[in-house]
Amino acid sequence: MLLLSVGYIIQPPTASKQKPKQSSLSELDEPDNWKPENDDCLHCNRYTLTKRLSMYPFNKAAKVLAVSYHDAWDKEADITYDTPDTATNKAEPENEIVDHGIRIDNGVLDTSHLVEIKKLNAAQIDRLTDLLYNTGYKKEGVNQIEEGMCFKPRNAFIFINEQGKVYDYLQICFECMQYSSPSEMINIGDVCNQKYELLNNYFISIGIKTGTIAK
């Protein structure tokens, strides 16, 4: 499916277990002023490292983790974010075979449900923020976004504050080219043609293989 969008695209991720929404005009025929090469990714030095680290969620992060986890068959990954209100009313999925999803209890990450965990060092955070904030459309204006109709994330970036509590995370599904965040405050920047491929390769480069798409 192709969506048309005008200008700089900021996609607000939705809360867990909801399909991310994308801002768009409508599903229309290609406009006369659209060119496919305009949607390719282009790196530019828009933001310095200092500026990038001042942006949410990096401005609150004492630690950033890149992780992988299982989904549940053809279902969305089971994301459980426990609060005093939900902890006593939580229903476990039926016929669960493997541990899957991100589980957070009172801000504490349950690592037993994760397959791979990588704490990002300063150089890796530099590369990640550069990819998110300094990699955008070759030419902004009328841009098309291609996305899948599914959402089965197996990878995420998890942000932890100085108190050791998880305060946000960004899930990514490379198969469906979708992302989501519970706060709706994190996105992947311009969704240019190669953005998901670049993020996929980033995970592979730091040793995270589960959930990625091998070349």
- Only one residue has tokens 């969620």, namely 57
Mean pLDDT in the chain?
78
Indicate the domain borders of the chain.
Answer: 2-87+97-205
Mean pLDDT in residue range 76-89: 44
98 to 69, 71, 73, 113, 118: CA distances (angstroms): 10, 9, 9, 9, 21
List pLDDT tens digits, range 140-194: 765 566 666 788 999 999 999 999 999 999 999 999 999 999 999 999 999 999 9
DSSP lists the bridge partners of residue 185 as none
Residues near 119 by Cβ (< 8 Å), separated by ≥ 6?
63, 64, 65
Counting Cβ atoms within 10 Å, is residue 17 exposed (0-12), middle (13-18) or buried (19+)? middle
- b/e 81-98 (16+ beta carbons within 10 angstroms → b): bbeeeeeeeeeeeeeeee
- Whether residue 108 has pLDDT greater than 60: yes
> For a pLDDT cut of 90, what percent of the chain falls above it?
58
- Whether residue 55 has pLDDT greater than 50: yes
- Only one residue has tokens 């791979």, namely 116
List pLDDT tens digits, range 113-145: 899 999 999 999 999 999 999 999 987 765 566
Query: Which one, of 151, 155, 129, lies nearest residue 207 by Cα?
Result: 155
pTM of this prediction?
0.73
Residues near 198 by Cβ (< 8 Å), separated by ≥ 6?
41, 131, 135
d(CA 193, CA 198): 10
